[in-house]
Amino acid sequence: MIAEIPGYQDSALFTPGEKAAIHFAETLAGDHRQASQELFDELREHFTEPEIIDLGWRIVTFVGYGRFIHALGLEIGKTCPLS
């Protein structure tokens, strides 16, 4: 499934809800200003409001973590030179 993520929109491996979640993650990880009413309408077809908030928090946590690790010049699993 991981190999299918770049083409998730056309993949038969993902459910419509999973595709909406990946679209949400893609938007928040990229140009978050592109989060539109249409995106949230798509999400509401598959998730409740609390689920959308929870999904969003999980996405931004991992996006932020990845950006922070990159900014520190670290590799995941390596020891942090600041500790």
Q: Is 17 domain-assigned?
A: yes
Q: Is 25 domain-assigned?
A: yes
Q: Is 23 domain-assigned?
A: yes
Mean pLDDT of 72-83: 66
Q: Is 78 domain-assigned?
A: no
Q: Is 80 domain-assigned?
A: no
Torsion of CA 62, 64, 65, 71, to 10 degrees: 150
- pLDDT category at 73 given cuts 50, 70, 90 is confident
Domain that holds residue 67: 2-71
Count H helices, E strands: the chain? 3, 0
The pLDDT tens digits for 30-55 are 998 999 999 999 999 999 999 999 99
According to the model, what pLDDT value does residue 82 have? 53
Q: Which pTM value belongs to this model?
A: 0.82
pLDDT greater than 70 at residue 83:
no
Could you tell me if 14 and 48 are in contact, meaning their C-beta atoms sit under 8 angstroms apart?
no
> What's the structural domain count of the chain?
1
According to the model, what pLDDT value does residue 41 have? 98
Q: Is 81 domain-assigned?
A: no
Structure tokens at 22: 């990946």
Name the nearest CA neighbour of 69 among 55, 56, 80, 57.
80
